[in-house]
A and B are shown apart, each in its own frame.
Chain A
């Protein structure tokens, strides 16, 4: 099997704001129904929304 890993600049990602990271997670789950998601994905989505709204820290701790 041929494995091709996408490249991503770690420096750019470090500099990326928390809200942008959360938005990327939201984009990745676009089109999926929350009620049909496995628990782990649903939890990550909820954390992303909370971060995006400024209601939680980056580790998912609610403020």
Chain B
């Protein structure tokens, strides 16, 4: 179940140029597709994910498994998605050498042991909305930064 929430993937751009047209869809019981799009950094630098990317999940028969995915740049500067898994308390495997993360794309997904379908499992994904969260504005942001 693809979803998003503040502190779990949902980011407001505020007064920055942050934006993203990259969308994620569950395209199979244990499959998430990252649609091609552009992630624009806070400074306005665009990073184009040229093609759809397929993320394949699996469960462990005896243990809870966790996944997370990041959007980043490979050592050669290509925009790529890296999906990593772990079985707690073991850590995630290291990111590829030379990798530079642009943003978390999929927050931690907890896959129940033996699961064969993620439809009921929350998959919190990156969503960038313009402006500020409801009820807040530039002044609130400045207060939080100690600028008033």
Contacts and interface: CB of A to CB of B under 8 A. Distances in A.
A28 interface: yes
B115 interface: yes
A41 B93 contact: no
Given A1-B80, A41-B110, A8 B120 contact: no
B89 interface: yes
A13 B62 contact: yes
A46 to B, nearest CB: 12
Nearest to B110: A28
B33 to A, nearest CB: 9
Interface of B: 1, 34, 53-56, 60, 62-64, 66, 69, 80-93, 95-96, 110, 112-113, 115, 120-122
8 contacts: A2-B80, A2-B82, A2-B96, A4-B85, A5-B84, A7-B93, A13-B63, A21-B63
Nearest to B33: A1
Given A24-B63, A40-B115, A41-B121, A1 B90 contact: no
Interface residues of A, number: 20
Interface string A1-30: 111111110000100000001001101110
A6 B84 contact: yes
Nearest to B91: A6
Given A1-B83, A40-B115, A29 B110 contact: yes
A1 to B, nearest CB: 4
A1 B62 contact: no
